Amino acid sequence: MLSGSEPACRYRGGVAKGTASGRTGWVVAALIVLVILVSTNTWNPFPGIWEWVSASRPLASPVVSWQERLGSGPQSVTFAGNAVIVEHRTSVESRGVSSGAQLWEKKGKDWAAVAGDGIDSVVVVGELLTKGYEVLDPISGQVRRSDDKAVAVWTYRNALLDVRCGDAKDCQLTAWDPRGTSPMWTVDLPGIGFVLFADNPDLLDAKPLNTRRVEGGAGGPVIMPSLLGFPVDGRVRVVDTASGRSVQDFEPDRHDRNVVVGGRVIRVQARSADGTCYFTVVASDPALQREVWRHEAVNLRTADGAGCAQRDDPSGGQNVIVAVTADGREAVLDAYDGRVLWLGAHGDKLLAVDDRYAIVRASGAKSVTTYEFGVKRARWSYATEDPKAGVAITRFAVIVAPEEPDRVVALSPATGRPLADVRSSAKVLAVGPTGMIIGEGREIGFVPFGGSVPPGSPGSVPLPADTSLCDGPKEPLCGKEK
């Protein structure tokens, strides 16, 4: 029986091998025929296949005002008056806001930033690891001013700063009007903690609360703060930008975290004891060299873990900082005078903040709520059941981006009035006075702001007064009546 079964096994194996060989032969033959057809221009399916793979798909529904495919994925997108500035890895281009048509392109430029405001904006461009920069007109691309010595640039709505160095211990910080040709002021910096960092290197300030669906710099340049803190060779030099002079120079304790926010130098002290961290936050006036306010047992989230090593800057805006109280509630503090501008209830989650508003999701709530500092009553609420919905505050709009289903909603910061509502999984790259740029991969598109709301879209609803809120920056502290 055993000997009789062996041929059958070998026979079955032979059938399988022959079948596989036959299929391979057919595939090879088909490829040979395809190569012959393509080489003789008889039939070529590849362009059609590539066209189908690379075809642009609408970024949103309803469709955007215009949509363009770029040569590469953008590094940043910024409004500059009537132009949209797109930064690529090795080039910079400008496109018209109204049509998306390319106005100009500068190749060989590795970074770009926008300074100024509205039609007075300019574009600052340069090359990595190369000193100097050019100031360009956003519409024409014409060079308005050029520099060949600066190693770093900071751009604001009302100024452009650059720093240049004779050597590592001899540097000067210079302020320019964005469209000006003469310096507004110059102040010495004895050294710098960065080398050829191009545009907007990190300074000692608060970081914004970011969300994945909205680019961190979507709102464009901000107003230049009254005080700036520069890391200078292991020390901190504080510069008064109104007078253009150095007002403080100090060596920080290596265990502390120092930032310059709201016209104050804020020092966060942390000590480890009893398996936890104990914090003290002290704010001082650098011009007078004296303490202005102090908070004990307030956590600015600068340390991670019981070791109390402070590696992060606090979150906030230009004049406010975000904190956590000893009982675990989130709060927003006025950096100038230390007042509590907003104090959440247990479980409330602060989603976004700037110098005017805080946007919050209450524990278990199916909406996000906006509070204006100095006003007890909530300004408005927007219904969104998605707990993962990203929220960001920009100068011109509050962006709410739910993910189930994907959509992008722009609302008026003051009233909650809908400005735009589209179904899209794209990221918000820039927000301007007339609309926003969204993008995905190499595609970007313009969503104009209007007053209508698509059918079925949740809207903003007024809320009753919330007497648990604080009275504002110049009024009594939370929990006290006037």
Residue 277: name the closest of 299, 257, 256 by CA: 299
The answer to whether the CB of 190 falls within 8 A of the CB of 237 is: yes
Query: What digits encode the pLDDT tens for the residues 133-177?
Result: 999 999 999 999 999 999 999 999 999 999 998 887 889 999 999
What percentage of the chain exceeds 90 in pLDDT?
Answer: 70
Structure-token pair, residue 193: 């903690």
Mean predicted confidence (pLDDT) in 51-71:
82
Determine if residue 244 is left, alpha or beta; phi over 0 gives left, psi from -120 to 50 gives alpha, anything else beta: left
Mean predicted confidence (pLDDT) in 355-374:
95
pLDDT at 5: 44
3 state DSSP class of 326: coil
Mean predicted confidence (pLDDT) in 350-354:
97
Asked if residue 212 has pLDDT above 80, the reply is: yes
Asked if residue 319 has pLDDT above 90, the reply is: yes
Looking at the DSSP bridge assignments, the partners of residue 106 are 92
pLDDT at 459: 44
Asked if residue 53 has pLDDT above 70, the reply is: no
CA dihedral 440, 446, 448, 453 (to 10 degrees): -30
Query: What digits encode the pLDDT tens for the residues 450-469?
Result: 853 443 334 444 444 444 44
Rounded Cα gap, residues 277 and 268, in angstroms: 12
Rounded Cα gap, residues 462 and 19, in angstroms: 73
Asked if residue 481 has pLDDT above 50, the reply is: no
Burial of residue 77 (CB within 10 Å: 0-12, 13-18, 19+) is: buried
Query: What digits encode the pLDDT tens for the residues 102-140?
Result: 999 999 999 999 999 999 999 999 998 899 999 999 999
Q: Which residues are CB-contacts of 24 (< 8 A; sequence separation ≥ 6)? A: none
Q: Could you tell me which residue, 456 or 437, shows the higher pLDDT?
A: 437
Looking at the DSSP bridge assignments, the partners of residue 460 are 382
Q: Which residues are CB-contacts of 355 (< 8 A; sequence separation ≥ 6)? A: 317, 318, 319, 320, 373
Please provide the DSSP assignment of 301-351 as one string: S-B-STT--B-SPPBB-SSEEEEE-TTS-EEEEETTT--EEEEPPTT-EEE
Residue 449: name the closest of 479, 413, 476 by CA: 413
Rounded Cα gap, residues 236 and 249, in angstroms: 6
Q: State the alpha helices, DSSP H only, in 40-104.
A: 46-54
Asked if residue 337 has pLDDT above 50, the reply is: yes
Q: What is the DSSP letter of 382?
A: E
Residue 195 pLDDT class (50, 70, 90 cuts): low
The answer to whether the CB of 371 falls within 8 A of the CB of 393 is: no
Residue 310 pLDDT class (50, 70, 90 cuts): very high
Q: What is the DSSP letter of 283?
A: E
What percentage of the chain exceeds 70 in pLDDT?
Answer: 84
pLDDT at 23: 67
pLDDT at 1: 42
- List, in sequence order, every beta strand (DSSP E) within 148-182: 152-155, 160-167, 170-176
Mean pLDDT taken over the chain = 86
pLDDT at 35: 77
Query: What digits encode the pLDDT tens for the residues 283-296?
Result: 999 999 999 999 99
User: Taking CA 100 as the corner, what is the angle to CA 95 and CA 106, rounded to the nearest 5 degrees?
Assistant: 25
Largest CA distance in the chain: 106
- Out of 79-88, 237-246, 272-281, 383-392, least confident range: 272-281
pLDDT at 128: 87
pLDDT at 458: 42
